[in-house]
Amino acid sequence: MPFQIIRQDITKMNVDAIVNPANPLPGFGEGIDSAVYAAAGNQLLEKRLELGVIEVGNSFLTPGYELTAKYIIHTVGTYWQGGGEGEEEILRACYRSAFFIAKENKVESLATPLLASGSYGFPKGIALRIALSEIEAFLSACDIQIYLVVFDEQSYRLSSELYGDIDSYINERYVEEKNLEEYPSGKRKRRERNINQCSDEYHEIVHEFASCSYRSLDEVIGNLEKTFMEMVFTYADQKNITDAEIWRRANLDKRAFSKLKCGKTKNPSKTTALALAIALELNLDDTKDLLSRAGLALSRCSKQDLIVQYFIEHKVFDVLEINTVLFDHNEAPLGYQLID
């Protein structure tokens, strides 16, 4: 099952289990830990007092009590001390031990906060890198729905911690059509700008065509009649990627991928098509070609498309990281939607 980032109060998540950043000593600490104990009721505190001291990096399971979640997986982190005291490995151990407990208890849906990024003081960029890599490693072997839950919009600007230049990349290329609606008097200026932009795009296309490696005539003819999914599997065969690797890398629900593969869904949504292009690690030309076979195209008027293009140009083919940036920019994430 896929991965999602959502903005929500983790105590209200309707999942099998939530992860709680716990106090190593009996009792509860600040922030999320305190909120979880308040929402779960007095029985949770009684249970915690029974368990005694828990070592850092370890996790333990309790019932959810008054929460919607059936279980709470408590994990004990450590304070950030500059990075030289093994903090990163302890945080990774927190995720791994929590995920192990989830698997052992046959949890099918799990919600976790961005561990250690609050009162423990981890830089959010480091905390996010660790979270994404551990989640990705876990999902490569286990079929569990995982939610990364953030709550305070002002406290989490996740993508800026990863890619500080992405906003300038978008601003240089993005055509904000709402300006025409809000400032109709600037229509002529806008038209001139669009004409100049189209001219720039034309020269850009010519440059890309001139600089790209040519395909042989046999390759062009051989791929001419292939459908979107036929091309997906052509690329997969070339790169020795299995079906399971494709849908996991694309952050797709297995059933959604199966519908596409079996032809029950004729063409994918834009988010699914982009996710598959990323999963196959296609360059920009091949991505455009693949999209065209589903009647789709990249647009400079779409922030989502520009963000995906940014990652392709930087040869970063990680859907989880891309979705983090899309989340920050209020754009639809790639891959996880079920296909009707």
Residues identified as active-site? 33
Q: How far is CA 81 from CA 178, 209, 220, 264, 291, in A?
A: 46, 51, 57, 53, 47
Contact between 317 and 278 (Cβ < 8 Å): yes
What is the C-alpha to C-alpha distance for residues 73 and 229, in angstroms, rounded to an integer?
Answer: 40
Neighbours of 339 (CB within 10 A): 17
Residue whose token pair is 């992405």: 166
126: tokens are 């480091």
- 3-state secondary structure (DSSP) of residue 6: strand
Phi, psi angle pair for 71, to nearest 5°:
-125, 155
What is the C-alpha to C-alpha distance for residues 211 and 106, in angstroms, rounded to an integer?
Answer: 52
Q: Which residues contact 145 (CB under 8 A, 6 or more apart)?
A: 1, 2, 3, 4, 15, 108, 109, 110
What is the C-alpha to C-alpha distance for residues 161 and 124, in angstroms, rounded to an integer?
Answer: 7
Contact between 116 and 98 (Cβ < 8 Å): no
Residue whose token pair is 């949770």: 44
Neighbours of 30 (CB within 10 A): 12
